[in-house]
Structure 1
Amino acid sequence: MFAPAVAFVDLETTGTLAAEDRITEVGIVRVDDGARVSEWSTLVNPECSIPPEIQGLTGITNAMVARAPTFREIADELAGRIEGCVFVAHNARFDYGFLKHEFARLRRAFTARVLCTVKLSRRLYPDGGRHNLDALIARHALPADDRHRALGDARILWAFMQTVYHDQPHAEVDAAIARILRIPSLPPQLPANALDAVPEAPGVYRFYGLNALPLYVGKSVNLRERVASHFSSDYRSANDLRLSAEITRIDFEETAGELGALLRESRLVKSLLPAYNQRLRRRAEMVALSIAAEPSPPDYVRSPAIDPGAFDDLYGPFSSRRQAREALRVLAAEAGLCWTALGLERRNGPCFARQVKKCAGACVGAETPAAHHARLRHALAPHALKRWPYPGMIGVRETSLTGERTEVHVFRDWCWLATVRDESELNAVREVPPRGEFDLDIYRLLVRRLPRARPMLLEPLTLAQSNAS
């Protein structure tokens, strides 16, 4: 067997949404040292009604779970039965996600190494067609007593694993499982337990070499998975290979959610300039196009020169001056604009676009500068920087899955002012708002995320009120 302890797990639930639906049954087949097999199952009172269609599928009715223990009452035993095991499930994201949310409702973390048998089947039997559980039962003649009951389906997974090891060379099975688990191969200069403290939570991480400044800064909604992926031989890039040879220390900061991780990563990369963050470092080169009132070529403006309260003549953002120039070329082709008037080339007489009959003729006097300038503004209108849509400071709340960490990110005029974690910090920001620095990278992030983040006006917002919302 590929691991000393393996737990084959199946759940029955009231629906498909882990954040909203609940568990109605748990089934576990635990295998230790490849031979010692123990089974455990229980119905679970979901503390809500089971939809009729789910009752029809699983055979689990409201009457059956009425006197069953709640998840809170089985949580300790369940955790003990899975502890130290590789967590194996079919479509494992479903079962693992439901357990993480159930434990989070109890303000408890739940973490395991997860193996999905759907992925394993696809790797070992790529020509097998479908890989749902019914297909596996038919293809491998697996016993299927109590199908759609938790323990019955967990037994099917154990039978599938035994069949796989019987039919395939053990080394190939182990290699396929290692690829799915992304088992990291840590560089020799890192201790074997270097990843043990890294949580399955959002945040930022830093790789250090021999110097005080980090080699690399990254972010993820699952720090452990992302950090481990840098050292998984199947998933390494050439950049990861070079980086691995230099890393001597890993550090991380947990955040309440993904937005906090994105904000923190952006700031750290720009302030520390890690050697291996070339792509993110280039965000400092972002520009907006500034269009003057009078006819003249566009100007390329970087973040420090932009007043977030005066966006009337700004368009973008663009990742670099080069990308902005390319955008102007595209607009010129679409709208018949003049390359010379746009500052894309310097020459007397007809511009290149005019020579290929794609310019209306501002460069040869066939169109007035004012008319061309008006058409340029019209063509750029969809790219205009958006005005701040709120009357003042706003707060965006993020709470971790377990509820142990809450952060409120404070913004005004597209500037990230602060992230506060308690009432005193919030009061300090309200009383003396920090001076925000406009950043086109943060602007672009907020334009995408604020509409679905349910931002709240900071006045009279308090952290307690935010938590209650």
Structure 2
Amino acid sequence: MLDRFSKLLFIDLETTGANLAKDGITEIGIVEVTSEGVQRWSTLVNPQVPIPPFVQQLTGIDDAMVADAPTFDRVMDELQQRLQGSLFIAHNARFDYGFLRHAYKRHGIQLRCDVLCTVKLSRKLYPLEIRHSLDALVERHALKSDTRHRALADADLLWQLWRKLEAAMPVDRMRDAIELQLAKPNLPVALESEQLDDLPDGAGVYVFYGEHDVPLYVGRASNLRQRVLAHFPAGRATYKDAQLARQVRRLEWRETAGDVGAHLQQLAMNRALRPVHETRPQEDGVWSWRLRRDAAGGATPELVHDSDIDFGTAPDLFGLYPTREKAESALRSLAEKNALCLKLTHLETVAPGKPCSGYRARRCTGACIGIETSQRHALRLEHALSGVRVEPWPYRGPAAIIETASDGRQDVHIVDNWSYLGTARAEDEIWHLLDETASRPRFDADVYRLLQRALAKGKLRVRPLAAEAQRAALQSG
């Protein structure tokens, strides 16, 4: 690599935490390798924020140790000279590089380096291994260190790892694994690489715009940076991505606390913006089967549209379908699978006293001709439909669905009648969203499906808002 870069810089940072906006750097350690030899450099850094006790215990760096240490602005010039022309090598490099980029950005400096991650390198070279943490690599490659979780000691472990890999791997394989990481995406001409460097590694939603600010595509991701860059691979792109790359002029993104918020915002933005590359047709409402029960205990399915009844409150609804044809096809499939009567499910018109075609084909137990009672058939029908039951909205009014990120950030998704009203990050934003909603929103099948899956996982917290809204109205009145 020294034929391409003037130096290899093995670097490690210790910080007060993982939040770029709130946490600070406490120590920088560098092993600098050039054609002339190896140099080591490290410094404590005053982060200008308290070091949490668990971080002090992990690193051994406490507030007293950094009290008289230089702040970042006093070491950044020397550090930048060391970074000049180097290959930046770190373990979980996005973390270390991200902290440095953010620190320099606070002082109006755009840090640009070629970055190599030893986690990714280890995964590429040892694909059968499961663990690639630094502790795992120390054990696997017999690396030696008297101290862990101090910056220079960990940087030195990376230098040791590099030499072990060079000794163990064929030159071509090592070079190819490195080049794969360093390969640059084929970015659209109008997009600046600096803008893409700012993409976070968290969840979010993004929009590509074309000429005259025409929305081209709305996407969502668990990792915004990876997903956006995946549209512009260094190698051969798909036809769709190549077409998109030619059209893109601008990129916007919003970071979210998690995947649920990203999905909700993607749904809302696709409907509001109607991007060129959104191939899914706009749904003209939704259909469902409603069970109509009679006095004798029987039940028959009736096809209903959400323009006729409120799907958010109606009981005995089963299945959500974009068209009448798909609803009938789904019920027919269910009838065949569960030996339901095509006459009693209203899928077939049969003369009184005559069997349905399902009975003649031995796929009906005879409810059409009285062999099976209508009550028993109704029970079997409801049991067969139970897997697609539509749950009514369980609250008297709107609710806040709270999604929490790994760093503690929260998104508060405001939902009413299974319809998404927006996301708030402060208390006053909640009431602003509710004030903007003049009437009860229409049931939204996409939001219903998304939230049913998400709530079943038990990771979201729900806060009913109807009583709070009523109290607020009384107080203001």
Q: Which amino acid aligns with 2:463?
A: M
Counterparts of 1:26-425 in structure 2 under 5 Å?
26=27, 28-29=29-30, 31=32, 37-40=39-42, 42=44, 46-48=51-53, 65=62, 67-69=64-66, 81=79, 88-90=89-91, 115-126=116-127, 133=134, 136=137, 144-146=144-146, 148-150=148-150, 151-164=152-165, 172-180=173-181, 183-188=184-189, 190=191, 195-196=196-197, 198-200=199-201, 202-210=203-211, 213-233=214-234, 236-244=237-245, 246-258=246-258, 259-278=260-279, 281=281, 287-293=287-293, 295-299=299-303, 301=305, 304-317=307-320, 324=327, 327-328=330-331, 331-332=334-335, 335-342=338-345, 353-355=358-360, 357-369=362-374, 371-396=376-401, 408-420=412-424
Rg (Cα) greater in structure: 2
Q: Which amino acid aligns with 1:40?
A: S
Q: Which amino acid aligns with 2:415?
A: F
How far the C-alpha of 1:146 sits from its partner, in A, is: 2.2
Query: Residue 360 of structure 1: SS of its match in structure 2?
Result: coil
When residues 76 and 171 of structure 1 are mapped into structure 2, their CA distance, relative to the original with a 3 A threshold, is farther
* Rounded Cα–Cα distance in structure 1 between residues aligned with 2:377 and 2:219: 45
Q: How many residues align?
A: 438
* Rounded Cα–Cα distance in structure 1 between residues aligned with 2:139 and 2:332: 58
How far the C-alpha of 1:120 sits from its partner, in A, is: 1.3
* Rounded Cα–Cα distance in structure 2 between residues aligned with 1:401 and 1:73: 30
Q: Which amino acid aligns with 1:270?
A: R
Q: Which amino acid aligns with 1:274?
A: P
How far the C-alpha of 1:441 sits from its partner, in A, is: 0.5
Does structure 1 conserve the Cα–Cα contact (< 8 Å) formed by 2:400 and 2:464?
Answer: yes
Does structure 2 conserve the Cα–Cα contact (< 8 Å) formed by 1:201 and 1:254?
Answer: no
Does structure 2 conserve the Cα–Cα contact (< 8 Å) formed by 1:92 and 1:114?
Answer: yes
How far the C-alpha of 1:219 sits from its partner, in A, is: 1.7
Does structure 1 conserve the Cα–Cα contact (< 8 Å) formed by 2:44 and 2:70?
Answer: no
Does structure 2 conserve the Cα–Cα contact (< 8 Å) formed by 1:43 and 1:68?
Answer: no
Q: Which amino acid aligns with 2:123?
A: R
* Rounded Cα–Cα distance in structure 2 between residues aligned with 1:175 and 1:9: 22
Q: Which amino acid aligns with 1:154?
A: A
* Rounded Cα–Cα distance in structure 1 between residues aligned with 2:129 and 2:402: 46
When residues 350 and 70 of structure 1 are mapped into structure 2, their CA distance, relative to the original with a 3 A threshold, is farther
* Rounded Cα–Cα distance in structure 2 between residues aligned with 1:78 and 1:287: 65
Q: For structure 1, list consecutive stretches of 5 or more residues without a partner in the other structure.
A: 463-469
* Rounded Cα–Cα distance in structure 2 between residues aligned with 1:176 and 1:90: 15
When residues 339 and 74 of structure 1 are mapped into structure 2, their CA distance, relative to the original with a 3 A threshold, is farther
How far the C-alpha of 1:318 sits from its partner, in A, is: 5.2
Q: Which amino acid aligns with 2:392?
A: R
TM-score, L = length of structure 2: 0.69
* Rounded Cα–Cα distance in structure 1 between residues aligned with 2:339 and 2:444: 32
Give CA-to-partner distance per residue, 1:81-108, whole Å, 9 cap, x none: 5888876444668x669969x99xx9xx
Query: Residue 414 of structure 2: SS of its match in structure 1?
Result: strand
How far the C-alpha of 1:315 sits from its partner, in A, is: 1.8
- Worse-matched range after superposition: 76-85 or 225-234: 76-85
How far the C-alpha of 1:79 sits from its partner, in A, is: 7.9
Does structure 2 conserve the Cα–Cα contact (< 8 Å) formed by 1:229 and 1:235?
Answer: no
Does structure 2 conserve the Cα–Cα contact (< 8 Å) formed by 1:283 and 1:441?
Answer: no
How far the C-alpha of 1:13 sits from its partner, in A, is: 9.4
When residues 439 and 126 of structure 1 are mapped into structure 2, their CA distance, relative to the original with a 3 A threshold, is closer
Give CA-to-partner distance per residue, 1:425-444, whole Å, 9 cap, x none: 55444556333232111122
When residues 129 and 383 of structure 1 are mapped into structure 2, their CA distance, relative to the original with a 3 A threshold, is closer
When residues 148 and 305 of structure 1 are mapped into structure 2, their CA distance, relative to the original with a 3 A threshold, is farther
Q: For structure 2, list consecutive stretches of 5 or more residues without a partner in the other structure.
A: 471-477
- Worse-matched range after superposition: 268-277 or 40-49: 40-49
How far the C-alpha of 1:264 sits from its partner, in A, is: 2.0
* Rounded Cα–Cα distance in structure 1 between residues aligned with 2:379 and 2:448: 26
Does structure 1 conserve the Cα–Cα contact (< 8 Å) formed by 2:403 and 2:460?
Answer: no
Give CA-to-partner distance per residue, 1:228-279, whole Å, 9 cap, x none: 11112469545323433x423233142443344322210222344434333x
Root-mean-square deviation (Å): 5.1
* Rounded Cα–Cα distance in structure 1 between residues aligned with 2:75 and 2:407: 18
* Rounded Cα–Cα distance in structure 2 between residues aligned with 1:190 and 1:290: 51
Query: Residue 378 of structure 1: SS of its match in structure 2?
Result: helix
Query: Residue 250 of structure 2: SS of its match in structure 1?
Result: strand
How far the C-alpha of 1:33 sits from its partner, in A, is: 7.4
